[in-house]
Structure formats: C-alpha cells, structure tokens
Amino acid sequence: MASAPAPESGGKSLPEISFLEFRRQADVDGRRIPLQGTIETTFRCNLNCVHCYVNEPASSREEQERELSLDRLKGLVDEVVEEGCLFLLVTGGEALLRPDFPELYLHAIRRGLLVTVFTNGTLVTDRLADLFAEHRPERLEITLYGMTKETYDRVTRVPGAFEKCIAGIRRLVERGLPLTLKTMALTWNQHEVEEMEAYARGLGLEFRFDSSLNPRVDCGANRNSELQLSPERALELDLGNSDRLEDLRRFCERFTSPGVERDTEHVYNCGAGQSSFTVDPYGRLQMCQLSRRSFHDVKAGRFVDGWHGLFPKLRARTWQTNDLCRRCNLLPLCGSCPGAAEMETGDPESIVPGFCELTHLRAWTVMGESSGHRRDATCCLGSGRLAARPNAEAALSGGCGSCRNAAPEPGERLVRLERRPRRA
C-alpha cells in the first residue's frame, strides 16, 4: 500500500512496516505493553439467546447499578492509552444498549484508539450508523443467529428481532462501513450457516463462524448440551469452504508440526495479561474474556496496578498436573486454552474432551499420521465418543509420540488425565 506524502518531510513518502514488524521493534511482549484491550460495558442484552454466556435482562436496574459509570469508563480509556493501548474492543452483552455508548465511543476515538464494536445489530439506528460513518471504527461485527425469521427468533427468543438485525446490517452497508458478519453454529441453526455465509458474501462482507460453546461466566447454568455440535459436524462445516480448509492446512504446517519449538513450562503462552486484557462491566480487570477467576478491581483502583502487579504473577504459573497438554504439539490448534479450561472446569490445566476431539479431527484431516496423533483422540483422552464411531481408527493401535503416550501393554488403559469436578 502506498504511503501518502508527508508535508514535514518535503513530500517524501514515510516508510511503512508491517504490524508484526512494528510489534517486534516496539518490543510489545518484552515491555508488556497492553496493546489490545476489551471493555465489556454491560452484560445486559435486548435478546435472550439460548446459548449466550452473558445475557442479563436489558431492563435490570440491579445490573445497571453494578456497571461502571460513564466517567469511570472514560477514565479507564485514558489510563490504558497512557500504558500504550492501541486497539480497543467495546462489547457486552449488547454494547449499544447503554444510552451513553456514543459518548464513550467518541472519547475512545478521540484518544487515538482503533475501536472495534461487537453488536447484535438490532439497535443500529440511522443516528448510530451516521455516528460510525462520521467517526469510523476499525471494525464492526454483527452476529447472525439464523438466515430465516423462524430460526433467528427461535435462537434469540425475541420475536421480530430478525428484521431489526437485517435492517441494522443494511444501514451499515449503505454507509460503506467496515463490517464483518459471524455466527455461533448451533444444532438449531447449523442448516443455515452456508446461507448466512452466502448472504454476507453477497454484501461483500467477511463471514466466520465458531462451533464451540462456553459455559456462562456468572456461574449460572452451563450451556445446553442439545446446542453443541458434534466434532464431526463441526469439521463438516469447516470442510464446506475450500478457503477455510487451506487456512487450516497452512496453520497446521506452521504451528503444529511435532518439531515446532515452544514454551512447555508456562501454562499461559497467549497474549492474555501480556499484551491484552479484559475489563468486565463491574470493573474487574482480567487477563481475557475466558479467564475470569482472578482479577484486579479497577472500579476504585488503577489499571496500572493490576497490569503490572497481578498479571505477571498469574502468567508465571508453570504446569503442575497436566503433562499431556503441556507437551502436545496440537496445543496451538486446540480451543482448550487455559481460559477455556478454567471456565469449563475451574482449572486452567484441565482438558476439555470436546475441544480435544475436534482438534484431533482437524489435525488428522490435513496432516494424517504426520500429526503424531490418532484421529479419534484416544492417544490423549484414552477413550471417547469418537472411538466408538465406525469410521474411527482402531483405538488401541500404535502410540502417540508427540504427547508421549506409548503403545499400551495388553489390557492397559490409556487414560492419563481425569477432569476435575467444578469447584464451588
């Protein structure tokens, strides 16, 4: 991309570097710069989705009283900017539900942040669309829950929401805003995922989906098991698009080959608490949106104290109980990161069987035996649903070199790790 002439340099073009090179030169990880942040302004939502991990009632007075005030949110924006934050995600719940959203958004934009907004789209009015057009965000993302009124309303449990969502999308598209559409692939809407993607492509928009559900963050009821796609069906959706398959192949070749070196001592190897953070609606500064058990209170305290005080201690944690995942070469592909495991079981080192099985299926599809694992994940789980399927490989044949499960002796079970019960 060509650079615009810089008046102060006599018309010469300013040099450009990639973001990765900028990150390296700025030593973002070494200096622990909170480059990317997430602010959840509310857990309230005007929809009531069956699968959602945060959907408090939209009119709840109790929730509103617990949420950070606009003044504190603006002050928090100032604090993270001073520490070097560049990218900010504003989300919820439904972020647009708060009437002070425009003021917070404009404050973040004026402080130089590149702002992304996650929304369900149903509250995007002409006035908000004009605001985004005048003060452009880095990105807007709207979640679709179906491509027909029947499916959308069944998932959201709010009649008439489908038409409002489509109208919101139309307003943003008409203004040429950077919009991405996405969905949560559920058993209830899986038959419309391809139609949703076709709709997005027809508007010239990017589209993506996720098929792995998380429990509720408020320790409420876990996800409805009826909604979670099986690993085989999730893989089938993956393979429905040649671009996704090729992306998966390139990722596996680059990051999951058994010979790839990585840190096997520390539990956290992502950017959580190192270059990214999350603040929930109540002022709890957390390493990410999934790892929520440990936090620093910024409702009355300062961001910098949590960032430089608590987070380095959390990230210093080394593996204690789970040697299996610690040494697994498929870990970069696995959805069971420490945050997801903590949310699922209360323990960041635990294994989540559903994630593990899907990871093995994906790796086997593009790498086969060179993945160092069995297709049915019995090399890591010892047993599981996939092992009983007709097309699964023989569960007790061979061994798994990458995760150090040798071939078993006759009659020996391969179970290496038990899921711990959810803590109170």
Is pLDDT at 184 greater than 90 in this prediction?
A: yes
Task: Write down the H helix ranges in 30-96.
Answer: 61-66, 70-82
Q: What is the mean pLDDT of residues 51-67?
A: 91
Is pLDDT at 125 greater than 90 in this prediction?
A: yes
128 touches 175 (CB < 8 A): no
Q: Work out whether the CA dihedral 78, 84, 87, 93 comes out positive or negative.
A: negative
Q: Is 409 or 142 the better-scoring residue by pLDDT?
A: 142
Question: Pairing relation of β-strands 87-91 and 296-297?
Answer: unpaired
3-class SS of residue 159: coil
Give residue 4's pLDDT. Answer: 45
Size of the chain, expressed as the number of residues it contains: 424
Q: Tokens in use for 407?
A: 């071939």
Half-sphere exposure of 34 (CA within 13 A, CB side): 31
| Burial grade of 112 (CB within 10 A; 0-12, 13-18, 19 or more) | exposed
Is pLDDT at 392 greater than 50 in this prediction?
A: no
- List the one residue out of 336, 340, 295 whose CA is nearest residue 313: 295
Is pLDDT at 108 greater than 60 in this prediction?
A: yes
- CATH 3.20.20.70 residue spans of the chain: 22-229
Tell me whether the omega of the peptide bond preceding residue 306 falls within 30 degrees of 0, making it cis.
no
Which pLDDT tens digit goes with each residue over 338-358? Answer: 998 888 888 999 998 888 999
- Rounded to 5 degrees, what are φ and ψ at 328? -75, 130
Task: Write down the H helix ranges in 217-266.
Answer: 231-238, 242-255
Give residue 388's pLDDT. Answer: 60
Q: How far is CA 103 from CA 67, 88, 407, in A?
A: 16, 15, 61
Is pLDDT at 371 greater than 70 in this prediction?
A: yes
Q: What is the mean pLDDT of residues 313-323?
A: 93
Which pLDDT tens digit goes with each residue over 208-261? Answer: 999 988 777 765 444 556 898 998 999 999 888 788 889 999 999 889 987 777
CA 226 to the chain's CA centroid: 22
Proportion of the chain above pLDDT 90, given as a percent? 63
**Angle in degrees, CA 240, 244, 246, rounded to 5:** 115
Task: Give the CA dihedral 223, 225, 226, 230, nearest 10 degrees.
Answer: 120
Is pLDDT at 421 greater than 80 in this prediction?
A: no
Q: Which residues does residue 156 pair with via DSSP β-bridges, in sequence order?
A: none
| Assigned CATH topology for domain 22-229 | TIM Barrel (3.20.20)
Give residue 204's pLDDT. Answer: 97
Q: Kindly report which listed range (59-63, 141-145, 219-223) carries the lowest average pLDDT score.
A: 219-223
Q: What is the mean pLDDT of residues 367-394?
A: 77
Give residue 408's pLDDT. Answer: 32
Q: How far is CA 91 from CA 44, 115, 296, in A?
A: 11, 11, 20
- List the one residue out of 120, 122, 143, 124 whose CA is nearest residue 133: 124
- List the one residue out of 290, 277, 347 whose CA is nearest residue 319: 347
Q: How far is CA 167 from CA 117, 126, 230, in A?
A: 17, 10, 33
Task: Name the average pLDDT for the chain.
Answer: 86
Is pLDDT at 285 greater than 70 in this prediction?
A: yes
Give residue 420's pLDDT. Answer: 36
- Distance CA(83)–CA(171), nearest Å, equals 35
- List the one residue out of 122, 201, 197 whose CA is nearest residue 166: 122
Which pLDDT tens digit goes with each residue over 71-96? Answer: 999 999 999 999 999 999 999 999 99
Res. 121 pLDDT band, cuts 50 70 90: very high
| Burial grade of 189 (CB within 10 A; 0-12, 13-18, 19 or more) | buried
Q: What is the number of H-type helices and E-type strands within the chain?
A: 16, 11
The pTM score is: 0.85
